[in-house]
Structure formats: structure tokens, C-alpha cells
A and B are shown apart, each in its own frame.
Chain A
Amino acid sequence: MKFLCVDCDSQMSFAERQLPGDGTLAATFKCPKCGRVVAMLTNPMETQLVSSLGVEIGGRTVPEQPLQTIRSAVATGREDAFDDGSREQGAGSRTSWSADALQRLDRVPNFVRGMVKRIYADYAKERGIAEITPAVMDTARSELGLEGM
């Protein structure tokens, strides 16, 4: 998928991705010549089609987790299907979790929680963020395209 600024005959570049939380996706593209910005808005079915391929519009920003699509998309997963081993999570980083961030994490289904925790920890580590707060989680969710996590 590419966007062309017809006036400038110039290929637009990906700028930003947003997930409003209603199953839709917004991705903005900017013309490097004239600065014009357009947004591509996809409906829930189109958004799902892209995520069902295990790819991310705008590119991958953290490495793909094992069984990532299965864990984020299966609705009938067992509570205790995975043991994510707490020792590995955020290993080697000094990232900590605020109390409200942990509370929010507790609301994530067990089937995917360990993986989500690792993704946020990787994200924070990459950006040198010392404490994961709900605000950090919101930004990460959008930036990483973690619909439904």
C-alpha cells in the first residue's frame, strides 16, 4: 500500500498510526515535498484482515512475540495455556510498573497477559522509559498497533 501526492508526483511517507479502540485504524501519511498529510482510515473488517496476516501497517517496532497473533486474537483461549516465566520479563532492564499500570495489566486476559507484559517492557526498555504507567501503555498501544491488548 502506497500513497502518492498527485500534485507533487511524490510518494508520501508513513507518519503515524492510531488505534481509536473501536476496531478501526488510522494511519497518516505525509508528502515530503509539500507537507500535505492524509489519513487512511480502515473499518473493523479491513483492520482485522491486516492483523490476521500478522503484519503491521507502518512497520514492526518491537520484535514479533512467539505465537503473537494466536495469543492476541484467539477468543476461546485457556486461562492457564502459557507459562511466561516471570524471570524473563523485562530482563536486564530497570523498568518498573506503576501500581495503576499493573492494575490495568491485571484486566488483560491471562491467555495473553504475559506476552503483553513483555511487549510493554521491551518498548519501555528501547526508549529508556524507567516506569511504565497507563499513559505509557496508551502510547505504546498506538505506536505498536496493539489493538485489543
Chain B
Amino acid sequence: MRTYHDLTDPDRSGLAQQIGAQRQRVAERLAGVGRIVAVMSGKGGVGKSYVTAHLARALARAGKPTGVLDADLNGPTIPRLLEVSRAPLTAHSAHVEPMVGLDGVRCISMALLLEDGAPLAFRGPSAESFVWRGAMEATALREFLGDVEWGTLDTLLLDLPPGMQRYVELCDILGTPPAVLTVTIPTPESRDAVRRAMRAAVDRGSALLGVVENMVGGELRGSAADELASEFGTPVIGRVPFHPSANAWDQIADQVSRAPRTAHRAS
């Protein structure tokens, strides 16, 4: 009996072609984005979202059109940080428009779509939902990347949830790994978690833009940022105290906007 690869007729479902078309849609949509930067850390609660939102605002204030894609689908916090209004998203036949927050930062987030306080829940068979839930979340991320029309952007920041899963999905969807900015707090525990994330990013081929050390100057002891920076040969591009002044972000924004532009995959 012949096996799968022996059958060469195009199957009408063309699932592989459908996946290819999805990737193509993402590539075309993001063609006008100068720089795609994933903000991550292997650790929760270190201030990824806080840094992402403030960095985005500083970039926008410097005259560089900036967007934030809240890739934390289950714990979205960006709209609150950017004070985005709860107005409906405008949907057209082939795209939706992002919302606009403080300093003109454009934004898409699951928080804009969900009922107040409701978790992200999907319709579907509840038994064995673990089988399809991950695929559903990756598809939601792919739709945010492929269907939101940002217009011309200097930088698109992606606020990732803790852990590495979303980063891996992002690499698959984009085809080329995004540049990565890591956020840590000074402690050794944070250093160890962020190290794992940075190693995964390097293994996947991401360029490291540098390390931001958050929550410095308080009770937290350690020198995570310096240690990570020297281990990975990447700069510490900012040290952020608790409740920093607005100009603390300008220096970080300046460094990020000097980073090489994203080489978009030839389509």
C-alpha cells in the first residue's frame, strides 16, 4: 500500500498551504514594522509589562511610532498601563485597527476583547481541553500578528508572559526570531530564571538587545543584570528604580532605537 508521501495529488484541504498562507499574511502585515522586539524574562512579576509600556511611551515621545502587542493572553495588563479606552475595536473586512493609548502608543491586547475581569475561555469540549488549548492560544497570537494593521511603525514591542512557550510560538509564526530585550530584578533567583530564557533565545537565534534591571535601589539584593550581561556579552541598557522619573526611560528608548532593524523574511 502506498504511504502518505507517495500520494502526490494536491489534497483539496491543503492544510499545509493554509498554514503557509497564514504565515504569509503575518509577513505582509508586519512589512511596515521597522523593529520587532520581544520583551521577556523567564520570571514572573519582574516588571516586563511595566517596562514594555514605559519604554513604548518613551519611544513614541521621541517621535518614533510605536506599538505594543500584549502577548500575555491570559494575564493581559498593557491596556491599563497605557490607559487605553474601552471603546470597540474597529474591524474592517481584512484587518482591525489597534487602539491608541498614552503618548500615542498603539496597542492590541486580549484585555480589550474580554468581559471585565473574565478569564480567557474558549468554546469547545471541556474534556481534554489541554489538547487544543495551546494551539488555540498560538492561533490567537498569530491573528494579533497577522490581522492588526499597525501602519508604519518604528518599533513593535511584544510583552510576553513568564515562561518560554509564547516566545517559541512567536519564532514559529514570524519565521525569523525577534530581537529580545530581557528584564530582570537584581536577585540571584531572577538571574537564574532569566538566564534560562536568554539561553533559549540565543539557541533560537534571537539577537539580544540587552538587559534592563528593574526595581533597583530598594530592598532587593544582587547584581543579576551585570552577571547576565557579561555572561551573554550584551549590555545592561538600563537600571530602573521604583517609580522612576519619565526621563529614566529615554536612555533605554535611545538604545533600543539604535538596534538593527528587523530583517523581514523575503515573501
The residues of A with any CB-CB pair to B shorter than 8 Å are: 1-2, 4, 6, 9, 11, 13-14, 23, 44-45, 48-49, 52-60, 63-70, 72-85, 88, 111, 114-115, 118, 148
Report yes or no: A59 in contact with B12, Cβ–Cβ below 8 A. yes
The residues of B with any CB-CB pair to A shorter than 8 Å are: 1-2, 4, 7, 9, 11-15, 18-19, 22, 25, 88-96, 112-116, 118-125, 127-128, 131-133, 135-136, 139-140, 142-144, 147-148
Cβ distance B20 to chain A, nearest Cβ, rounded Å: 11
Contacts of B142 in A (CB 8 A): 54
Give the CA-CA distance A59 to B95 in the complex, in Å: 21
Cβ distance B15 to chain A, nearest Cβ, rounded Å: 5
Report yes or no: B13 in contact with A67, Cβ–Cβ below 8 A. no
Contacts of B15 in A (CB 8 A): 1, 53, 55, 57
Report yes or no: A14 in contact with B13, Cβ–Cβ below 8 A. yes
Given A66-B95, A67-B96, A74-B121, A1–B143 Cβ distance below 8 Å?
A: no
Which chain A residue lies CB-closest to B143? A67
Cβ distance B46 to chain A, nearest Cβ, rounded Å: 28
Which chain B residue lies CB-closest to A63? B94
Cβ distance A78 to chain B, nearest Cβ, rounded Å: 5
Report yes or no: B115 in contact with A78, Cβ–Cβ below 8 A. yes
Report yes or no: A44 in contact with B19, Cβ–Cβ below 8 A. no
Report yes or no: B13 in contact with A45, Cβ–Cβ below 8 A. no
Give the CA-CA distance A64 to B90 in the complex, in Å: 17
Report yes or no: A81 in contact with B112, Cβ–Cβ below 8 A. yes
Contacts of B19 in A (CB 8 A): 53, 55
Cβ distance A62 to chain B, nearest Cβ, rounded Å: 11
Which of B9, B94, B144 touches A11 (beta carbons < 8 Å)? B9
